[in-house]
């Protein structure tokens, strides 16, 4: 066997051992493992070493220091694992090492991306001629969608923002819900639209924008709504917002980092209906589609607006009649992240994605019911994959979150919801089984008995 072959096989075997080991280790890394990693290396060594020993070192020191988020009992933030087909594709695409920004740089990667984008639109039931860009994540997908919005709203006023910038430009009014995600505000800041120069619309008890309290719209308004509140999982009312916007030519952007995937099933039409009317949407494939980090998806109904916002020209970069990946994202050179999207969709099929979404939502309800049966308060309507639970007073909740994280059976973080401390549980992995949920509830019982709290 050649050395390279042995090395890559070794990496694959170590990866498999790691993933299998997640079932029996603590989800959070042992503090001792973090210390060992942090103190293992001094200054940059002048001499190199073998690739084999780099791999051995990383596995020995790095693997125990990881968060077990690739396993079935990590419920922090909204993370998701990697479906096997997408992980394997990631390994293969690593070997390919394609520069996927330009078709001429990798015609094959561009074709795979074309297919992945077409399938994404079909899965999400969005217009087939919409523009799609594959970004690093939802922050950048929000950035891309909002850049297309900025382009379209200002070009209608006769202003090219790409050429002339925002100095002296007609004003755009940006309207957000009180519960807008920080990443969308960050994107507004990066676009010169201002993270604080926004009109905030009040929300209801689940964090949904109250459409009737939206200010009057016009064709210089950009409404930024969300599909999937990061705490409750609630959706802003898409039909009301999109219809009001369509009447006057306002632009609607949807931050649907995880919630947009609910469109893969028909079971949640009550939440997702109307989103197909939005002008631009952002989602995270590394969240609920369960592809490896990193991959976000930006969809813009007017593909021309997206391509104009991301356009670039150089004499040595000749654009053909086919879609150029880099015309749809900020980056030029980048990895071929369409490969994993392709692989996840190919492995699961439309039905498999729907089943994944439905199963995680059912598991979230089961988790919530189990906690409620133990007399804990569920603070949200569990309409999606998010559960907010309070274990008593704020102090009791804080100490329970810490104790559960230390116990290591599962990991979920703390949050504040309506001035109360809560644990935030997000079920977003293909690997989570019903038995995993039961193991988590057993852990809650065990930690309660041990701590005698609350
Ligand atoms: C995760 C998330 C984001 C940010 O996505 P990144 O992939 O971390 O950039 C934006 N909006 C919502 C609602 C999210 O859940």
CA 391 to each of CA 374, 395, 420, 427: distance values in angstroms, whole numbers, following the listed order: 10, 9, 11, 19
Bond preceding residue 62 cis, omega within 30 of 0 = no
The per-residue pLDDT for range 282-333, each reduced to its tens digit, is: 999 999 999 999 999 999 999 999 999 999 876 666 667 789 999 999 999 9
- Answer yes or no: is the C-beta of 444 below 6 A from any ligand 1 atom: no
- Answer yes or no: is the C-beta of 145 below 6 A from any ligand 1 atom: no
pLDDT of residue 245: 98
pLDDT, mean of residues 87-112? 97
- Is the separation of the CB atoms in 212 and 110 below 8 Å? no
Nearest atom of ligand 1 to the alpha carbon of 141? 9
* CA of residue 183 to ligand 1 center, whole Å: 6
Asked whether the predicted pLDDT for residue 408 surpasses 70, the reply is yes
DSSP state, 62?
Answer: I
* CA of residue 138 to ligand 1 center, whole Å: 5
- Answer yes or no: is the C-beta of 181 below 6 A from any ligand 1 atom: yes
- Answer yes or no: is the C-beta of 255 below 6 A from any ligand 1 atom: yes
Structure tokens at 39: 């103190």
Facing residues of 135 across strands? Answer: 296
- Answer yes or no: is the C-beta of 289 below 6 A from any ligand 1 atom: no
φ, ψ (nearest 5 deg) of residue 390:
-110, 135
- Answer yes or no: is the C-beta of 258 below 6 A from any ligand 1 atom: yes
pLDDT, mean of residues 219-246? 98
**DSSP codes of every residue in 235-280:** B--HHHHHHHHHHHT-EEEEE-TTGGGGGGSSTTHHHHTTGGG-SE
pLDDT of residue 454: 57
Q: Which of 76, 80, 139 to mutate to test the pocket of ligand 1 (most atoms within 8 A of CB)?
A: 139
DSSP state, 218?
Answer: -
pLDDT of residue 318: 64
The per-residue pLDDT for range 29-84, each reduced to its tens digit, is: 999 999 999 999 999 999 999 999 999 999 999 999 999 999 999 999 999 999 99
Q: Who contacts 1 (Cβ-Cβ below 8 Å, separation ≥6)?
A: 9
- For the chain, the farthest-separated pair of C-alpha atoms sits apart, in whole angstroms, at 71
pLDDT of residue 97: 98
Which residue has tokens 């994280």? 405
- Answer yes or no: is the C-beta of 207 below 6 A from any ligand 1 atom: no
pLDDT of residue 251: 98
- Answer yes or no: is the C-beta of 224 below 6 A from any ligand 1 atom: no
pLDDT, mean of residues 261-288? 98
């Amino acid at each position: 066997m050649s050395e390279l072959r042995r090395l890559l096989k070794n990496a694959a075997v170590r990866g498999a051992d790691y993933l299998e080991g997640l079932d029996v280790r603590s989800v959070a890394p042992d503090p001792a493992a973090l210390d060992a990693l942090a103190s293992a290396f001094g200054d940059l060594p002048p001499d190199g070493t073998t690739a084999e020993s780099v791999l051995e070192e990383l596995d020995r020191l790095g693997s125990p220091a990881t968060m077990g988020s690739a396993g079935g009992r990590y419920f922090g933030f909204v993370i998701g694992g990697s479906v096997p087909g997408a992980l394997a594709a990631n390994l293969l695409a690593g070997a390919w090492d394609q520069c996927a920004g330009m078709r001429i740089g990798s015609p094959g990667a561009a074709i795979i991306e074309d297919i992945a984008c077409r399938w994404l639109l079909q899965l999400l039931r969005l217009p087939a001629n919409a523009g799609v860009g594959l970004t690093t994540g939802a922050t950048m997908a929000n950035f891309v969608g909002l850049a297309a919005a900025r382009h379209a709203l200002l070009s209608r006023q006769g202003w090219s923002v790409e050429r002339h910038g925002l100095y002296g430009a007609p004003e755009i009014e940006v309207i957000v819900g009180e519960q807008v995600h920080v990443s969308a505000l960050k994107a507004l800041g990066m676009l010169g639209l201002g993270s604080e120069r926004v009109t905030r619309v009040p929300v209801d008890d689940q964090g949904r924008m109250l459409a009737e309290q939206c200010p009057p719209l016009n064709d210089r308004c950009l409404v930024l709504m969300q599909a999937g509140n990061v705490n409750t999982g609630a959706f802003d009312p898409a039909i009301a917002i999109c219809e009001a916007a369509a009447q006057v030519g306002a632009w609607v952007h949807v931050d649907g980092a995880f919630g947009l995937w609910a469109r893969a099933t028909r079971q949640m039409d009550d939440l997702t209906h109307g989103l197909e009317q939005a002008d631009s949407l952002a989602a995270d494939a590394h969240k609920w589609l369960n592809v490896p980090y990193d991959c976000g998806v930006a969809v813009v109904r007017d593909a021309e607006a997206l391509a104009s916002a991301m356009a670039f020209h150089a004499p040595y970069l000749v654009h053909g009649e086919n879609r150029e990946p880099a015309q749809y994202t900020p980056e030029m050179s980048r990895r071929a992240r369409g490969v994993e999207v392709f692989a996840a969709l190919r492995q699961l099929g439309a039905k498999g994605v729907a089943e994944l979404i439905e199963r995680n939502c059912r598991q979230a309800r089961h988790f919530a019911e189990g906690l409620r049966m133990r007399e804990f308060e569920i603070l949200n309507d569990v309409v999606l994959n998010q559960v907010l639970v309070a274990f008593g007073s704020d102090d009791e909740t804080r100490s329970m979150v810490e104790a559960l994280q230390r116990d290591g059976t599962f990991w979920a973080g703390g949050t504040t919801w309506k001035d109360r401390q809560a644990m935030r549980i997000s079920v977003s992995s293909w690997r989570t089984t019903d038995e995993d949920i039961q193991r988590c509830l057993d852990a809650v019982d065990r930690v309660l008995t041990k701590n005698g709290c609350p």
